[in-house]
DNA sequence: GCCGTTTTCGGCCCGACTGTTTTCAGTCG
């Protein structure tokens, strides 16, 4: 996927333009870079499908940047970027990566001390040449020195699931402090984005200064970047930046709204506010300097004429334009039907998984280990599977029905990895592709449809096989599969594994149009993974799924009818 | 360079923090 490469070039161009004192363009390039970087779709695919026009449609990308993107996709180079690089000494833009050094300071360092790369910066630091520069001082030298240690670890977005435990821990940590009155995570985490670039926390406290002090002492903090009375910024050990803002109790709603975003949603909402004669910022909603809302998000949205908009869907697509139906909710889920145990490649026993599911108030749990071909994941031979069916039957947990199943491999020819005779014995049969990812589009669809035609198969797992940041989704005639599933009562999985999130919300939307029904599963490989369910539900919310679109919201009896 | 029911020109978020100043510029998100 070339999105990141292209975004990086535009970021660099912005840096260079800024050093060259060019106005406005840097912002434009950065906005485009951010947009391209955070897109879910492959920019190459967009170009193949819709050409230059498709690129131009990306928010923040106009004619000029679209053309440059096209140039890069075609030639692997952007002429103007090459020209820009020639205008400043080689290496100067890498100085911009040093935290605390912006265009003005980089320029000063070059003009006064002829420093044009990291190496020369280090030499100058050793000789303490920088502290005597106008605008710099002793402290500047110390900070640059510290930042240099971190420069190699480039900012990388982490998976939602990777960030989840630390956010939970941090929130708990802050809640325990007696001066804390409220804590809530905002930003991309609250919106449940696929990947997280930094963590935003919002708090109400009796003593802001003390809360910030506690915050910077959180054990996972690697480095403190800023600390004041209302705001603290730290770098965590996982190299994610984490911001804490402390606000007054009656500002909590407006601040939460403001820091949750996303940016385009907020800009749109602010525009609507202005149109209606209001002003909206993180301190509240104002009419003629009079504050008319801000204690809660709900009251802000209400005053502006909207129902409450869940954070997950604040993505500036339709949420400010259309009436939002009652969406699927985390509490609607009655069971998880794609779970592994240590009998194949999981960590826990059947009983351990069952008890964990019980804790989540589920009514049913499907144990679905890998089939025999998946040797690498210790897939079960037929005789072992039969033993496990018995064991599952004999595992009793009050209020929880255990279902025996399998995640059966779809072989390259579209046949399944187990015979119909054994599949018939199972409650849940999930078909999945784990090999032959490079099969061409036509063959892939035939292969999948052949597998789904088997009457025992009811669920199609992680349809695109993508691994976020690792493996591209495979080439799929998805709409053909949707049509088949809708017609034949097959269910498409929304796999909630943080590295999969497959389907993603855009494809859920497509499937919804074809009246496909879904099942949200975690594909858990240990008991803690069952909590990933919320990530899958969030994807469904983003596509505006309702409860009736998701079959594992059904009571056990009705759910089982769907599996027959 | 982007963008548009205040449009095709003239805007472009702005407040917190830091380290340097002696009231503020630069950086960041």
CATH of A259-313, one of 3.30.210.10, 3.40.630.40, 3.40.50.2300, 3.30.565.10: 3.30.210.10
A449 CA → B25 C1’, Å = 64
Confidence band of A153 (pLDDT split at 50, 70, 90): low
Task: Name the residue closest to B3, CA to C1'.
Answer: A60
Mean pLDDT of chain A: 90
Distance A61 CA to B4 C1' (A): 15
Q: What is the DSSP string of A75-137?
A: HS--HHHHHHHHHS-TTHHHHTTSTT--HHHHHHHHHHH---SHHHHHHHHHTT-STTSTT--
Measure the CA angle with vertex A468, ends A336 and A553; round to 5°: 20
What sign has the CA pseudo-torsion A48, A52, A55, A57?
negative
- Using CA atoms, how far apart are residues A189 and A246, in angstroms rounded to an integer? 18
More confident call, A39 vs A326: A326
pLDDT at A32 over 60: yes
Q: What is the pTM of this model?
A: 0.78
pLDDT at A151: 64
Q: How many angstroms separate the CA of A50 from the C1' of B13?
A: 33
Q: Which residue has the higher pLDDT, A104 or A416?
A: A416
Q: Which nucleotide is nearest to A68 (CA to C1')?
A: B1
Degrees (nearest 5) of the Cα angle A298, A303, A308?
30
Q: Straight-line distance from CA A470 to C1' B12, in Å? A: 37
A486 or A435, which is more confident?
A486
Instruction: Judge whether residue A90 has pLDDT over 90.
Output: no
- Least confident range of A137-151, A356-370, A538-552: A137-151
CA of A245 and C1' of B18: distance in angstroms? 17
Domain with CATH 1.10.150.110 in chain A: 3-156
Cα–Cα distance, A305 to A101 (Å, whole number): 44
**CATH (residue range A3-156):** 1.10.150.110
Q: What angle do CA A443, A444, A449 make, to 5 degrees?
A: 100
Residue A341: per-residue pLDDT: 94
Residue A277 is classified by DSSP as T
- In chain A, ranges of CATH 3.30.210.10 domains: 259-313
Residue A32: C-alpha distances to residues A25, A27, A63, A69, A506 (Å): 11, 9, 12, 11, 21
Q: Does residue A553 surpass a pLDDT of 80?
A: yes
Distance of A140 CA from B19 C1′ (whole Å) = 7
The spacing between the Cα labelled CA in A158 and the C1' in B10, in angstroms, equals: 39
Residue A152: pLDDT over 60: no
Chain B bases near protein Cβ (<7 Å):
1-3, 6, 11-13, 15-21, 25-29
Closest-lying nucleotide for A106 based on CA to C1': B26
**Separation of CA A64 and C1' B6 in angstroms?**
26
Nucleotide nearest to A31 (CA to C1'): B2
Which has the minimum average pLDDT: A9-13, A155-159, A403-407?
A155-159
Q: Is the dihedral of CA A296, A323, A510, A265 positive or negative?
A: negative
Question: Which nucleotide lies closest to A104 by the C1' atom and the CA atom?
Answer: B26
**Closest nucleotide to A208, Cα to C1':** B16
Q: What is the mean pLDDT of residues A117-131?
A: 88
Q: How far is Cα A205 from Cα A176, in angstroms, rounded to an integer?
A: 12
User: Which CA-bearing residue is nearest the C1' of B15?
Assistant: A282
Rounded, the Å distance between the CA of A351 and C1' of B20 is 63
Report the C-alpha gap between A440 and A61 in whole angstroms.
32
By C-alpha distance, which of A90, A86, A102 is closest to A19? Answer: A102
- For residue A474, what pLDDT is reported? 82
Mean pLDDT of A110-115: 88
Instruction: State yes or no: pLDDT of A301 exceeds 70.
Output: yes
**pLDDT by residue (tens digit) across A455-473?**
999 999 999 998 887 777 8
Among A86-100, A365-379, A410-424, A519-533, the minimum mean pLDDT is found in: A86-100
Give the CA-to-C1' distance from A182 to B17 in angstroms.
23
Question: Can you say how many angstroms the Cα of residue A300 is from the centroid of all Cα atoms in its chain?
Answer: 26
Express as a percent the part of chain A with pLDDT over 70. 98
Rg of chain A in Å (alpha carbons) = 27
Q: Determine how many CB atoms are found less than 10 A away from the CB of residue A277.
A: 9
pLDDT tens column, A310-332: 999 998 888 888 889 999 999 99
| CATH 3.30.460.10 domain residues, chain A | 159-246
Residue A395 pLDDT > 70? yes
Closest CA-bearing residue to C1' of B24: A135
For helices A505-513 and A478-488, the axis angle rounded to 10 degrees is 50
Closest CA to A352 of A192, A527, A203, A194: A527
Q: Which nucleotide, over all strands, has the C1' atom closest to the CA of A134?
A: B20
CATH number belonging to the domain at A335-563, selected among 3.40.50.2300, 3.40.50.720, 3.40.190.10, 3.20.20.140: 3.20.20.140
pLDDT band at A49 (very low <50, low <70, confident <90, very high): confident
Give the closest nucleotide to A131 (alpha carbon vs C1'): B20
Between the CA of residue A172 and those of A41, A166, A208, A296, A561, what are the distances in Å? 35, 10, 17, 22, 42
Residue nearest to nucleotide B28 (CA to C1'): A100
Question: Considering only CA atoms, which residue is closest to the C1' of nucleotide B13?
Answer: A267
Which residue places its CA closest to the C1' of nucleotide B20? A135
pLDDT for A442: 86
pLDDT at A169: 93
- Please give the CATH number for the structural domain made up of A159-246: 3.30.460.10
Q: Which residues pair with A366 in a beta bridge?
A: A403
Query: Nearest nucleotide, C1' to the C-alpha of A147?
Result: B27
Query: What is the structure's pLDDT at A145?
Result: 83
Closest among A442, A486, A495 to A468, alpha carbons compared: A495
Nucleotide nearest to A135 (CA to C1'): B20
Give the nearest nucleotide to A283, CA to C1'. B15
Element (H, E) at A73: helix A63-75
All CATH 3.20.20.140 domain ranges in chain A, comma separated: 335-563
Other CB atoms closer than 10 Å to residue A449's CB: what's the count? Answer: 18
Tell me, rounded to whole angstroms, the distance of Cα A303 from its chain centroid.
30
CA of residue A526 to C1' of nucleotide B26, angstroms: 48
CA distance A258 to A276: 18
CA of A410 to C1' of B14 (A): 55
User: What confidence tens digit (pLDDT) does each residue in A155-210 have?
Assistant: 568 899 999 999 999 999 999 999 999 999 999 999 999 989 889 999 999 888 89
């Amino acid at each position: 996927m070339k999105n990141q490469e292209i975004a990086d070039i535009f970021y660099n161009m912005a840096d260079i333009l800024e050093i060259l004192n060019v106005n406005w363009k840097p912002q434009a390039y950065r906005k485009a870079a951010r947009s391209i970087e955070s897109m879910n779709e492959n920019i190459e695919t967009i170009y193949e499908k819709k050409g230059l026009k498709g690129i131009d449609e990306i928010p923040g990308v106009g004619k000029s940047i679209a053309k440059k993107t096209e140039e890069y996709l075609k030639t692997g180079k952007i002429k103007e970027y090459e020209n820009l690089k020639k205008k400043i000494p080689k290496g100067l833009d890498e100085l911009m990566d040093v935290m605390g050094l912006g265009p003005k300071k980089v320029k000063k360092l070059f003009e006064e001390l002829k420093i044009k790369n990291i190496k020369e910066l280090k030499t100058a630091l050793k000789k303490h040449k920088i502290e005597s520069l106008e605008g710099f001082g002793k402290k500047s030298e110390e900070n640059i020195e510290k930042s240099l240690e971190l420069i190699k670890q480039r900012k990388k977005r982490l998976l939602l699931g990777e960030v989840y435990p630390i956010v939970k821990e941090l929130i708990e940590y802050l809640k325990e402090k007696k001066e804390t009155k409220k804590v809530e995570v905002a930003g991309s985490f609250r919106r449940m984005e696929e990947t997280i670039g930094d963590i935003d926390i919002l708090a109400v406290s009796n003593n802001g200064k003390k809360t910030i002090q506690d915050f910077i002492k959180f054990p996972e903090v690697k480095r403190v970047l800023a600390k004041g009375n209302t705001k603290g910024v730290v770098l965590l050990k996982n190299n994610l930046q984490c911001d804490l803002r402390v606000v007054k109790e009656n500002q909590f709603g407006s601040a939460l709204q403001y820091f949750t975003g996303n940016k385009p949603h907020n800009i749109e909402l602010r525009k609507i506010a202005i149109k209606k004669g209001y002003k909206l910022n993180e301190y509240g909603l104002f009419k003629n300097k009079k504050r008319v809302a801000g204690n809660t998000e709900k009251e802000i949205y209400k005053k502006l004429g909207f129902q409450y908009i869940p954070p997950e869907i604040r993505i500036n697509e339709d949420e400010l334009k259309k009436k939002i139906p009652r969406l699927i909710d985390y509490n609607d889920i009655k069971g998880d039907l794609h779970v592994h145990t240590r009998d194949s490649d999981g960590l826990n026993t059947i009983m351990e998984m069952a008890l964990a599911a019980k804790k989540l108030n589920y009514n049913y749990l499907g144990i679905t280990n890998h089939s025999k071909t998946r040797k690498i994941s210790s897939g079960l031979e037929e005789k072992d599977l039969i033993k496990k069916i018995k064991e599952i039957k004999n595992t009793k947990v009050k209020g929880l029905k255990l279902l025996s199943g399998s995640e059966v491999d779809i072989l390259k020819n579209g046949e399944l990895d187990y015979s119909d005779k054994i599949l018939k014995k199972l409650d849940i049969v999930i078909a999945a592709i784990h090999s032959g990812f490079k099969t061409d589009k036509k063959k892939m669809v035939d292969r999948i449809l052949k597998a789904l035609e088997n009457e025992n198969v009811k669920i199609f797992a992680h349809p695109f096989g993508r691994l976020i940041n690792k493996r591209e989704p495979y080439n799929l005639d998805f709409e053909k599969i949707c049509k088949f599933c809708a017609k034949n009562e097959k269910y498409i999985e929304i796999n909630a594994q943080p590295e999969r999130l497959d389907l993603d919300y855009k494809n859920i939307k497509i499937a919804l149009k074809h009246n496909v029904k879904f099942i949200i599963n975690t594909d858990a490989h240990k008991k803690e993974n069952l909590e990933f369910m919320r990530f899958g539900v969030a994807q469904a919310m983003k596509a505006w799924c309702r409860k009736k679109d998701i079959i594992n919201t059904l009571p056990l009896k009705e759910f089982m009818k769907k599996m027959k």
